[in-house]
Amino acid sequence: MAGRSQPPYRPRPNFSSSSSRSFHPSQPSRNSQSHHTKNVNSSTPNSTQIQNNASDKKTSSSSWDKSIDEDIDDIQNLVGTCPFMCPVEEREKRERLRDLAVFERLHGNPRQSSPGLAVKKFCRTISVKTLQDSDVRPLSVLEDTLNYLCNLLDSTEHPFEMVHDFIFDRMRSIRQDLSMQNISCSRVVSMYERMVCLFIQVILFKRT
């Protein structure tokens, strides 16, 4: 034991608080804070902008409601004057486009019809502003048109499906003309009853 030498002395590092550095998160500068505040303020609408947007929406909504009211008034005052089962303008247009059903063709010609054959088609979209009194049939003409269509149901020259499709579309046009004129009387009720009975007959025929 006496012969061993001791290791040399090495000073230990000092970890006192005076020599150590504490970590502190970096604080944002005032310039960055003000820039962020400006961005938030610019993206957030102020009260004046909100009031202007609400005023614009209210104005557009009121103008839209006014246009609808005017269209409704025009429809309520509509009285059809077309003396034929199909308006002349529509018949001539469909002749040019060869848009005539088999029952509407004069001597089988797909580009020629007549007032006694052409029947007004159902139109899904109608512009009230361009609608004329001559485009709508009065009640007496609608009754004659319904009688004509009911007589076609007894036709054996063409397949039943073809006859049914033609009658179904043209009866929709009859109901459309009645609705646009706001006609309400016992004659209209009788017309609706006849159409319902016809549809029932068609359903029973298909089941047999």
Q: What is the mean pLDDT of residues 66-75?
A: 51
- Per-residue pLDDT, averaged over 55-68, amounts to 52
Q: Which of 37-46, 94-103, 148-157, 173-182 has the lowest mean pLDDT?
A: 37-46
Contact predicate 83/97, CB 8 Å: no
Across the range 158-169, mean pLDDT stands at 92
The pLDDT confidence band at residue 186, using thresholds 50, 70 and 90, is very high
Residues 6+ apart with CB under 8 A from 21: none
User: Do 128 and 138 contact (CB within 8 A), yes or no?
Assistant: no
pLDDT band at 115 (very low <50, low <70, confident <90, very high): very high
The CA distance from 26 to 4, in Å, is 55
Whole-number pLDDT of residue 178: 95
Percentage of residues of the chain with pLDDT beyond 90: 50
Q: What pLDDT is stored for residue 102 in this prediction?
A: 96
- Confidence category of residue 55, pLDDT binned at 50, 70, 90: low
pLDDT above 80 for 191: yes
Neighbouring-strand partners of residue 109: 106
- The structural domains of the chain, with segments of one domain joined by +, span 88-123+132-207
Q: What is the C-alpha separation between 38 and 124, in angstroms, rounded? A: 54
- Residue 19: predicted pLDDT: 44
Q: Which tops the pLDDT comparison, 6 or 151?
A: 151
